[in-house]
A and B are shown apart, each in its own frame.
Chain A
Amino acid sequence: MSNTESSRLYETIIDEVINDSRQDFENSGIEESTLQELKRIWCEKLTQSQVAKFSWDNQPTFQQNISHQPFDNDIKLEHPDLLSYNTGSVNNVIGDNNDLDIQIPNMTSFKQEYDDDDNGLMLPTVTQTDGSNFEITLDNDNAKEFINNLKKLKGVDGVSDDDNDLFNDSDDINSELDDDLESGKSDDEENDQDGHIMLCLYDKVQRIKNKWKCNLKEGVANINGKDYVFQKATGESEW
């Protein structure tokens, strides 16, 4: 695999970012050890990603030591402790889940009631305030007009309810759009699953009829789980 450049680039970037951030860490009153911890975690995560081989990967002694440790841990006292801790934490987690399970129905039931109350209360209050506003100006002039206005207002409310219904109906029509959205999402998901992605800059993108040519540069590509970097890229594709 010819992705030695990417590992060298990544290593340089890590060193530069860490060195460059030292002042920022100091300004925030964070100790140097935390900066080194950031570097260590970053390197670990890059190793786990397996996108390239890094210089720090050539130290398998750590892993060997770790693999030897379980042999030393044959002392029976430690395991029960660990196990009890583990089961304890698992129980706690389950307990939390149970709590959550209980809470969620409660919350939803509350929400439903709340929503119902909201829907039931909100509209009357709106019409009441509207009515009271109109009462001051119109009630004395013409009671019939006021009543008609009130009826109109109620009618408006009714229309708005109809609007809601129309909107609900139109949801069925919109479902085509939803399908489009869903298909778009699934496309993105497919992309994520495939994971072949290229991030770069473009100099020029040309199209002649259905033939596309692009000149790209300074890019990083992840293909088949490996990272590649390039200075220049040219691509041809037919639409």
Chain B
Amino acid sequence: MSNPGYYELYRGSTVGTTLFESLDQLITDEKIQPQLAVTILSNFDRIISDMMKPENNLVKSKLTFKGDLSTYRFCDDVWTFIIKNVNVKLNDVSNSDLSDEVVVDKLKIVACNSRKAGEP
């Protein structure tokens, strides 16, 4: 019943962890069964993956970053980077005036292969 075509990657985002905690709370209160929570999480995997796609026009911003690569890892088709002294620039395309630039001492990037993401 799970969606093999969708990554579980985004469960690590804030919107994912908060959903997980909410489901966990409902299970603890014995209001739902764990099996239902698993189904909801796979619904989440599918929906967030689809929402991120450009055709939905929900996510349009562009981001650039520059820094010192401290660690790189490629395992099971997943890239992990730990970059230090990173300058991150975000251009919100929907509000062209707005752009954000922040410097972070350490940024961890976890990236899955784009070719597998729900594509046939």
Contacts and interface: CB of A to CB of B under 8 A. Distances in A.
B111 A231 contact: no
B100 interface: yes
Interface string B62-74: 1111111101101
Given A198-B107, A199-B9, A227-B13, A235 B18 contact: no
A200 B23 CA distance: 24
A191 B61 contact: no
B14 A227 contact: yes
Interface in B103-120: 104-114, 117
A51 B110 contact: no
B66 A191 contact: no
B63 A220 contact: no
A20 B63 contact: no
A196 B58 contact: no
Interface string B15-41: 100110111011000011101100110
A49 B104 CA distance: 20
A1 interface: yes
Given A196-B107, A238-B69, A16 B31 contact: no
Given A191-B108, A232-B62, A41 B22 contact: yes
B65 A5 contact: no
A223 B32 contact: no
B114 A28 contact: no
A138 interface: no
Interface residues of A, number: 65
Contacts, number: 222
B104 A230 contact: no
A220 B9 CA distance: 10
Contact of B95 (A2, A25, A28, A51): A2
A103 interface: no
A124 to B, nearest CB: 45
A150 interface: no
Interface string A1-30: 111110011101110110011001100101
Given A37-B31, A197-B110, A218-B59, A228 B47 contact: no
Given A197-B108, A223-B102, A237-B69, A2 B40 contact: no
Contacts of A205: 74, 79, 111
A143 interface: no
Given A42-B22, A218-B114, A236-B66, 17 more contacts: A4-B95, A5-B94, A10-B15, A13-B15, A16-B47, A21-B43, A28-B35, A28-B36, A42-B19, A194-B105, A202-B112, A202-B114, A212-B69, A217-B114, A223-B104, A231-B62, A239-B72
18 contacts: A2-B61, A2-B91, A3-B100, A5-B92, A9-B52, A13-B15, A13-B44, A20-B43, A24-B43, A196-B107, A197-B12, A199-B13, A200-B109, A218-B49, A218-B59, A219-B63, A232-B63, A236-B66
6 nearest A-B residue pairs (beta carbon): A218-B52, A237-B69, A2-B98, A201-B114, A45-B18, A2-B92
Interface of A: 1-5, 8-10, 12-14, 16-17, 20-21, 24-25, 28, 30, 34, 37-38, 41-42, 45-46, 49, 51, 187, 190-191, 194, 196-203, 205, 212, 214, 216-224, 227-239
